[in-house]
Amino acid sequence: MKHGYFITGTDTNVGKTWATLTLMTYFKQKQQCVLGMKPVASGCEQQDGQWRNADALAIQQCGAVWVDYEIINPYAYALPISPHLAGKSHPVDVEVVLGHFNTLQALAEVVIVEGAGGWYTPLNATQTIANLAQALALPVILVVSVKLGCLNHAQLTFEAIEKATLPCAGWLAVCSDKDFTCIEATIASLTAQLPVPLLGILPYLEQGDFHYLATKIRI
């Protein structure tokens, strides 16, 4: 029986990694063996001759047990552009990701998988994040960055998740825009509009304190 979540968001840069690290910390606080995965990452730097992505490194560090980087992030593309463009010479193979996910699944009670970009981010010539989520067959958590435009993006993404016939476990409100002045009313509108549970409101923090943020999760 698979236990885990696929983390998608309304866009790139909306708080998926913070949400992933918060959820991993939440499960660790519940004494559950949790691992994370960032299977496809665009935007990497060289470390000891290998391409490494900051999100994937943070997810590796946060795991309850140590796992080799290549299992967590099999596709590490140098350029911070769409994976289907960044990975032209080494495109994403969803079956490879599924194999690595199964390895993590065998090591952990819970596996949290962070997507890349948004729901329809192209992974290769024919597939998007939606196809990857379908292959993993995990319940999806939708991360919504609470800012201007999010009501539209949240609805579009939610409907696309439904179209993929995957269960949506709920949504997370991430207050990553410190200048946005209409947080409460926007969260109320999102709550009215999305027919799945609000799993937590992650407040704006200058530094990522994931132990604190984990106290905001209600799963």
Ligand X SMILES: Nc1ncnc2c1ncn2[C@@H]1O[C@H](COP(=O)(O)OP(=O)(O)OP(=O)(O)O)[C@@H](O)[C@H]1O
The residues binding ligand X (CB under 6 A) are 9, 12-18, 55, 117, 174-176, 202, 204-205
When the beta carbons of 16 and 28 are compared against ligand X, the nearer one is: 16
CA dist 13 and 76 (Å) reads: 17
Q: Which one of the spans 50-58, 74-82, 92-100, 196-204 is the region binding Mg ion (CB under 5 A)?
A: 50-58
Q: Which two tokens stand for residue 123?
A: 């992974």
CA dist 114 and 109 (Å) reads: 17
Amino acid at 97: V
When the beta carbons of 164 and 205 are compared against ligand X, the nearer one is: 205
Query: What minimum distance in Å lies between the beta carbon of 206 and Mg ion?
Result: 18
Three-class HEC string of 84-121: HHHCCCCCCCHHHHHHHHHHHHHHCCEEEEECCCCCCC
CB atoms within 10 A of CB 163: 10
Coil, strand, or helix at residue 186?
helix
**Is residue 16 within the footprint of Mg ion (CB under 5 A)?**
yes
When the beta carbons of 102 and 218 are compared against ligand X, the nearer one is: 218
CA dist 55 and 78 (Å) reads: 13
When the beta carbons of 123 and 174 are compared against ligand X, the nearer one is: 174
CA dist 171 and 143 (Å) reads: 6
Q: Which one of the spans 12-20, 103-111, 147-155, 188-196 is the region binding Mg ion (CB under 5 A)?
A: 12-20
| Residue whose CB is nearest to Mg ion in the complex, by number | 17
**Is residue 153 within the footprint of Mg ion (CB under 5 A)?**
no
Candidates 16, 28, 38, 147; catalytic one = 38
38 is catalytic: yes
Q: Which residues pair with 56 in a beta bridge?
A: none
Query: What minimum distance in Å lies between the beta carbon of 14 and ligand X?
Result: 4
Q: Which one of the spans 17-25, 28-36, 61-69, 122-130 is the region binding Mg ion (CB under 5 A)?
A: 17-25
| Catalytic residue set | 38
